[in-house]
Every structure is written in structure tokens, then in C-alpha cells.
């Protein structure tokens, strides 16, 4: 009998190793097909890791930017404050806001904590508070996924708790769950990779802005002084050269590895301008034609390039500055799963649909809900320049998957991986 048991264990172990090896190969092939430079994948059943796989130089403790996934942690903190009786879900948020967040819109006084959590407060989708603090719809009337709304939530958390966002995260989440590699503040992460097309757009925008500003400055100077210090052609070349210098400075910080390529393009443009200096029509056509050519090539070449880790703001922002590792997020997902099954406080309300979006999608308090024939999944994604991630919980099957990538193509890869492991055809996408 003992011998038979040992044989069965050996067979099962062999099968498990074979399945794991196949899953590893499939994951690596998928990553390669999406040009993913680095990733961290972990699949859990019954709170036990079933599969882990990492890209080159990545392990379970490698720190990624998780961007908007920080909203789930922020919602959890807010609900812990509700459990402590420091605030209620239906409380108006205005008394708990910093003065610089207050506006003349009277509707701000009607917004509740619950509406912030489920994106029905009426704020814009923007992530930068300085861009747009307007309220676009009556509170509670309409779903609009809002980064601004969660910046308001951060203010509520800080004023209710008497802590900074980072301190509150440490107290309520990171320290109790042993999440030693997690923070909302600045920390070094793995190197992000952006699509070449995104880099080209950044270059193009900065070049055009600087170039146009300089040309306008030359025009205004001529109008004020009524003097033409340089010919139109020389002015154009000087403005072009200064814009190039600014771009090179920008690239040295953002994408140092494409500076040489950009320099070659600039030299080509410069030579073209020099050759065309005696042909006015050709001369003025050189820059727009060659800039458009760079744009076309940038979008046509399916490549990713490493960029700086410092693109995202260093100041803690619960809407998009979360940094964490797969191991840490597994601890948080485990906590959420436990709350789903046995929680009896406000945190469990995360999993109840607070607003229905369509027949399939709804939003809980801080987390998205997708309903399929096989059951409901609870998920959130995160997108920052050079980073994309996805977390999907499938509590009815006691499963969850965490996919972190340092790539602009990461979300497509993550969805495919999640579908394979969870064996469910989820979309995990809501129009924002």
C-alpha cells in the first residue's frame, strides 16, 4: 500500500512539473509575442501559489509601478476608517477636504464618500488635480472613472486619519500584511519600457511646442523693435537648432538610448536644410516632411525602448503612484479574498455593486466587477508610462492572478494570461 501511495505521489508530482513547465513556456511565448521586456506573473488557488514566472532580471520582490491599482488599496483604507467609526459611507466629503480642493460649485457639498469610491462623484477622468477640478455631472447620477475623484479621496483619508497618505497605507495595509516592498512615495523600480511610438509622440510634442514658441518670440521681437535681425531662413534654422537642443536634453533624461538615433535624424534634417537653402519652397517643406516621416517610422516600427524611472511624480498620490511587488500584492489579494468570504465590516462592501455600468460591468467600492456565466470577477488595472498591470480576483473559485509588467504592451499580455489561468473569458475593460 505504501509503495502504491509513493507511486501515485510520484506520478502526480511529474504531472504537476509537466503542467508548470508548459505554463512557463506558454507565458514566455506570450510575453515574447507582445514584446514584453519584463514581467511578474503569479497565480493562486486557495491562497497557495500554483504558478509563478518572471522575465529576465525579475523576481517576486521586484518593484513595479502599479499606477491605478493603488485606488483599490486607497478604498480599503477608507473603508477601514468607516469600520473605526471615523467616517460613514454616506457622509459628505466637503468638511474633510483641504482648502485648496474646495470650489465654488455648490454640488461639491453633496458628494459623499461612497460616490468617490465608486466613481459617481461627477469629476473628470484626469489624474492631475491642477488640470480639472470641475464637476461635470450631478453627484450620484453618472459613472465616470476619475483619477481626480481619488485625489479628493486621498484628502479625506489624510484629514480623517490625521496621517499622510503614505502613513495611512503603512498603518492600515503595508505593515499589517507584511508588504515590505510597497509604497505610494518615490522609490526605484524596475526599468520601464515604452513603445517607440509613444516616445516619438513625446519628442514630437516637445519639439513642436519649443519650435513654435521660439518662432512666435522672433515674430513678436520684430514687431516690437521693427527690426529684422536675421533673415527668415536664418531665424528658422536658429529656432530649429534650439528646439533640437531642448529635445536632446529631454531625451537624455527620458530615453537616453534613443539620443543617438534622434541625433542622426537631426543631422539628416540639418543637411537637408543646408542643401535646400537656395530653393525656398523646398527649404520650408523640409522640416514638416521629415518630422512626419519620423512619426510614420515611429508608429511603423513595433519596438519598445527603456526609459527613465522618474516619469511619474514623486509625491504620494493614491490615484497613480503605487509601487509594489508581486509578493506584496499577493498578500493584499489574500486579504481581500478573506474579506469577501468572512468579513463583516465595511471592507466587504467593496464587492457589492454600487453602480451598474452595463449588463456585464459594474463598480463596487474601489474595485471593478465583471459578471460572466461562470461567475463574477473583481479586478483593477494600472497604466503608467512604461508600466501596465492587472489584478483579477475570482473568489467563487478561490483564485486570483497578479500580472505586473514594465511595458506599454503589458495589459494585452496580462489579460491573455489571466484568461488562461482563471479559465474564464473576461474582458476586464471599462470605457473610461
pLDDT at 21 exceeding the cut of 60: no
pLDDT at 338 exceeding the cut of 90: yes
Residues 6+ apart with CB under 8 A from 110: 92, 138, 139, 140
Q: Could you report the per-residue pLDDT of 381-419, keeping only the tens digit for each?
A: 999 988 999 999 999 999 999 999 999 989 999 999 999
Cα dihedral angle (149, 153, 159, 163), rounded to 10 degrees? -130
Report, as an integer, the average pLDDT of 116-135. Answer: 82
- The pLDDT of residue 9 is 42
DSSP class per residue in 34-102: TT---EEEEEEETTEEEEEEE-TT--TT--EEEETTHHHHHHHHHHHHHHTTS--TTSBSGGGS-GGG-
- The pLDDT of residue 168 is 98
Phi then psi dihedrals of residue 268, to 5 deg: -60, -45
Tell me the average pLDDT of the chain: 85
Report, as an integer, the average pLDDT of 133-140. Answer: 93
- Please give the span between the terminal C-alpha atoms of the chain, in angstroms, as a whole number: 60
- The pLDDT of residue 16 is 40
Joined together, the cell numbers standing for residue 101 give 480642493
Determine the Cα–Cα distance for residues 79 and 92; give it in Å rounded to an integer. Answer: 15
- The pLDDT of residue 15 is 39
DSSP class per residue in 366-421: SSEEEEETTEEEEEEEEEETTEEEEEEEEGGGTEEEEEEESBTTHHHHHHHHHHHH
Contact 381, 411 (CB under 8 A): yes
**Domain boundaries along the sequence of the chain:** 64-190+311-422, 193-306
CATH, domain 64-190+311-422, list 3.40.640.10, 3.30.830.10, 3.40.50.300, 3.40.710.10 = 3.40.710.10
Amino acid at each position: 500500500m505504501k509503495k502504491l501511495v509513493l507511486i501515485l505521489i510520484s506520478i502526480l508530482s511529474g504531472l504537476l512539473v509537466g503542467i508548470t513547465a508548459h505554463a512557463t513556456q506558454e507565458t514566455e511565448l506570450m510575453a515574447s509575442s507582445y514584446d514584453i521586456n519584463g514581467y511578474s506573473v503569479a497565480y493562486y488557488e486557495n491562497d497557495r501559489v500554483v504558478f509563478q514566472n518572471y522575465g529576465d532580471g525579475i523576481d517576486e520582490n521586484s518593484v513595479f509601478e502599479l499606477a491605478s491599482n493603488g485606488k483599490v488599496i486607497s478604498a480599503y483604507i477608507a473603508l477601514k476608517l468607516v469600520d473605526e467609526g471615523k467616517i460613514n459611507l454616506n457622509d459628505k466629503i466637503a468638511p474633510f477636504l483641504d482648502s485648496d480642493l474646495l470650489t465654488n460649485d455648490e454640488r461639491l457639498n453633496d458628494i459623499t464618500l461612497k460616490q468617490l469610491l465608486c466613481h459617481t462623484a461627477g469629476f473628470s477622468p484626469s489624474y492631475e488635480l491642477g488640470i480639472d477640478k470641475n464637476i461635470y455631472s450631478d453627484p450620484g447620477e453618472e459613472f465616470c472613472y476619475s483619477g481626480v475623484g481619488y485625489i479628493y479621496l486621498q484628502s479625506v483619508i489624510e484629514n480623517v486619519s490625521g496621517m499622510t497618505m503614505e502613513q495611512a497605507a503603512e498603518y492600515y495595509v503595508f505593515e499589517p500584511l507584511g508588504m515590505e516592498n510597497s509604497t505610494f512615495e518615490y522609490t526605484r523600480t524596475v526599468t520601464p519600457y515604452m513603445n517607440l511610438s509613444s516616445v516619438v509622440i513625446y519628442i514630437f510634442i516637445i519639439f513642436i511646442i519649443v519650435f513654435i514658441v521660439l518662432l512666435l518670440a522672433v515674430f513678436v521681437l520684430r514687431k516690437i523693435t521693427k527690426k529684422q535681425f536675421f533673415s527668415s531662413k536664418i531665424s528658422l534654422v536658429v529656432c530649429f537648432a534650439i528646439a533640437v537642443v531642448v529635445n536632446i536634453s529631454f531625451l537624455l533624461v527620458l530615453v537616453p538610448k534613443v539620443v543617438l538615433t534622434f541625433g542622426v535624424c537631426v543631422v539628416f534634417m540639418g543637411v537637408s536644410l543646408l542643401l535646400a537653402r537656395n530653393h525656398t519652397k523646398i527649404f520650408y517643406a523640409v522640416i514638416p516632411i521629415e518630422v512626419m516621416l519620423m512619426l510614420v517610422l515611429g508608429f511603423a516600427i513595433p519596438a519598445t525602448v527603456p526609459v527613465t524611472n522618474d516619469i511619474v511624480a514623486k509625491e504620494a498620490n493614491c490615484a497613480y503612484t503605487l509601487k509594489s511587488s508581486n509578493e506584496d500584492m499577493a498578500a493584499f489579494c489574500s486579504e481581500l479574498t478573506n474579506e469577501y468570504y468572512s468579513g463583516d465590516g465595511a471592507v466587504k462592501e467593496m464587492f457589492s455593486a454600487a453602480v451598474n455600468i452595463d449588463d456585464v460591468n459594474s463598480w463596487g467600492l474601489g474595485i471593478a466587477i465583471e459578471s460572466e456565466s461562470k461567475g463574477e470577477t473583481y479586478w483593477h488595472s494600472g497604466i503608467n508610462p512604461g508600466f501596465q498591470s492587472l489584478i483579477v480576483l475570482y473568489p467563487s473559485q478561490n483564485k486570483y492572478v497578479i500580472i505586473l509588467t514594465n511595458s506599454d504592451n503589458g495589459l494585452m499580455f496580462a489579460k491573455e494570461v489571466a484568461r488562461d489561468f482563471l479559465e474564464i473569458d473576461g474582458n476586464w475593460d471599462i470605457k473610461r
